[in-house]
Structure 1
Amino acid sequence: MAKKGFEVQLEALDRLSEQPVAEWIEPLRAALRQRYNYVVAKAADLAARQRLVELTPDLLAAFDRFFEDAVKSDPQCWAKNAISRALAAFELQDAAPFLRGLRHVQLERVWGGRSDTAGTLRGTCALALVQCRDIPEVQLLRHLITALADADKGVRADAVRAIEQVGSPAASLLLRLRAEIGSESDKNEPEIPGACYAAVLRLDGNAALEWAAKFLEGEDDASGEAALAIAATHSPEAFALLRDRWNKSPDVWFSSVLLSAIALTRQSEATEFLLSMVEREAMRADQAIEALLRSMPSDDTVQRLKVLASRNARLERVFAENLKATARR
């Protein structure tokens, strides 16, 4: 009977699409009072999709309810995740629910032990806190620092994004500090320092290029993230920094990363630099061909590259193989 009731409630929510949105309020309000976390999650998602802000009190009540005996009442955090997304979409200004979500850890049984299923909830709440007007910046950054050291990689990435959204000089300095001191996990998760490099460059602009260029020296995965972050500024200064580093790099793998980053600066000088490598049949001309073709070049650049590569049988094969590979993406 319980399963039948669950299915009936889901079907009722599915049928709402057949009715005017104005008639959704009471059915969704009733659904948000249900004990089935999946039903509540679906109701919250529907409320968010239609921006039914009048359901905010009902969402808050349901949110509180699913923290009680959380593992049993809301396995996988389905309800809390959907409700937090809805409250964030409604731009709720009260920080208290998001702070509660940010602190929540939910350990559930898995094969061989227990696993935390609340990472998505904490990440959503970290980002939502930025919009709350009732929390001073210093206090907000305090909470985000904790999220920046979260055991869950996704939460740490969301914390970086949230700090960037704060957008203040203090936020930029905090991200610089995180990048400078690093973490043992950065070796296996280079995207976290990479997110810091990119965020600082977006906040501080070209003034941060020399700072970001320091992280190219390691010639490891994190250095690759730094190269791509620098390239994303699409500036002549970025091209110059990447080219200078390429001239000094003996590592074949990192050389290919730098050439890809050079192509992604989308500077005309960068395109000419890579084309000249192919024209001269330089030692790493094959890497230049791959970098150019992966950067979504103009038709004119592709044609010029094709002509230059055709003068050398090996480079012509490299061109054909990479052109085919990029066409499949």
Structure 2
Amino acid sequence: MAKRDRTLEALERLAEAVTDPHAPAARAALSKALGARSNLVVAAALEVICEHELSGFEASMRAAFDKAMTDPVRTDPGCRTKVGVVKALDLLSEPADELFLAAVRHVQPEPVWGGSQDSAVALRGMAAMALVNRRNPEAMIELARLLADPEREARRMAADAVAASGDVAAGVPLLILRIRAGDPEPEVLGACFAALLALDAADTFGFVVEHLRGRDELVVEAAALALGQERPAGALAALRAFVESTLLEPRRVGLLAIAMLRTEEAWAYLLELVAEAPEGLARGAIEALGVYRELGDLAARAREAAAGRADGGAGLERSLAEHL
């Protein structure tokens, strides 16, 4: 209890000292906090540095990182210090490539009920993005490793970093390989498809659309949502063809992807389905339009389309009430 009280007191003193973060007293308090035993105090100081983009603490931050890498489960549970240092150094555009390379490979299993849990997942992803931001020559190599990371979030963050790299020559093959190898997590597949389109939509569009015709529903859904998210040319036509050629569950995701395009043409198509399609498909279109229920005009148009049906939209009343 006493230890927790000392930590709380240190946090309170730091908060009081940094009311004016640019004052000399605040800088002295931040320097002291970066050397604190508690990683909660160190992390709080790093948050202030990031929030106000304060320079001049690079040496202290590196020292805090090195300390946190020594017996890390004890000195930095949850990787709070290491994550904060990577975030701050990247934000401040400091030349810290060696530190980022150490962070991107760091694994920190910590005991939890029933086993252990890696607390360094976000750290690896953030360090990878920092390497990309620096155009480090080893960045794509590290991203290749991270795309095969055991942890889902690390793989997803790796895909985002590949997209941010702008490196078509290296990034596209890596993402295609990840997709072809398969992934049990649709979130990862979706990030990979989206990254492909972000890198080179013209040349990868066909590859993504090809997966709308796959047998694995998770892959189909990931490809559809990526088209909706990235909105490449031709996405509406491809998604329409997909919706109109399947009766399977992914059709609902296809309708949602069409809504995500956020174009009048896409919304007009969904409204047309509400007005004329069989009830099951019309209900799916209403559900997709429900994403924009705050847009009163669109909701009104959907109700008007339903009212124009032969039965006056009686079969769609519940869907309209639930989603719009």
Q: Normalised by the size of structure 1, how large is the TM-score?
A: 0.88
Q: Are 2:291 and 1:294 equivalent residues in the alignment?
A: yes
Q: How far off is 1:4 after superposition?
A: 4.2
Corresponding residue number in structure 2 for 1:100: 102
Which runs of structure 2 are paired with 1:68-107 in the superposition (5 Å)? 68-107=70-109
Q: Between the two proteins, what is the percent identity of the paired residues?
A: 34
CA contact (8 A) 1:45 1:83 kept: no
Q: How far off is 1:157 after superposition?
A: 1.2
Give, in whole Å, the separation in 2 of the partners of 1:21 and 1:115: 38
Q: Are 2:209 and 1:208 equivalent residues in the alignment?
A: no
Relative to 1, partners in 2 of residues 1:289 and 1:20: Cα closer, same or farther, differing over 3 Å? closer
CA contact (8 A) 1:242 1:262 kept: yes
Q: Are 2:161 and 1:162 equivalent residues in the alignment?
A: yes
Give, in whole Å, the separation in 2 of the partners of 1:80 and 1:196: 27
Corresponding residue number in structure 1 for 2:275: 279
Q: Are 2:302 and 1:305 equivalent residues in the alignment?
A: yes
Partner of residue 239 from structure 1, selected from 229, 232, 236: 236
Which runs of structure 2 are paired with 1:1-329 in the superposition (5 Å)? 2-19=3-20, 21-23=22-24, 24-132=26-134, 135-136=136-137, 139-183=138-182, 186-187=183-184, 189-218=185-214, 220-234=217-231, 237-251=234-248, 253-283=249-279, 284-295=281-292, 298-310=295-307, 311-323=312-324
Count of aligned pairs: 316
- SS of the residue 2:85 aligns to: helix
CA contact (8 A) 1:94 1:132 kept: no
Give, in whole Å, the separation in 1 of the partners of 2:20 and 2:261: 50
CA contact (8 A) 2:140 2:171 kept: no
Q: How far off is 1:175 after superposition?
A: 4.0
Relative to 1, partners in 2 of residues 1:228 and 1:297: Cα closer, same or farther, differing over 3 Å? farther
Relative to 1, partners in 2 of residues 1:146 and 1:316: Cα closer, same or farther, differing over 3 Å? same
- SS of the residue 2:56 aligns to: helix
Q: How far off is 1:167 after superposition?
A: 0.4
CA contact (8 A) 1:278 1:309 kept: yes
Q: Normalised by the size of structure 2, how large is the TM-score?
A: 0.90
Q: How far off is 1:233 after superposition?
A: 3.8
Between 1:73-82 and 1:18-27, the stretch displaced more is: 18-27
Give, in whole Å, the separation in 2 of the partners of 1:318 and 1:233: 28
Between 1:279-288 and 1:44-53, the stretch displaced more is: 279-288
Provide structure 1 residue ranges, at least 5 long, that are not aligned to the other structure. Answer: 324-329
Give, in whole Å, the separation in 2 of the partners of 1:18 and 1:180: 49
Q: How far off is 1:281 after superposition?
A: 4.7
Provide structure 2 residue ranges, at least 5 long, that are not aligned to the other structure. Answer: none
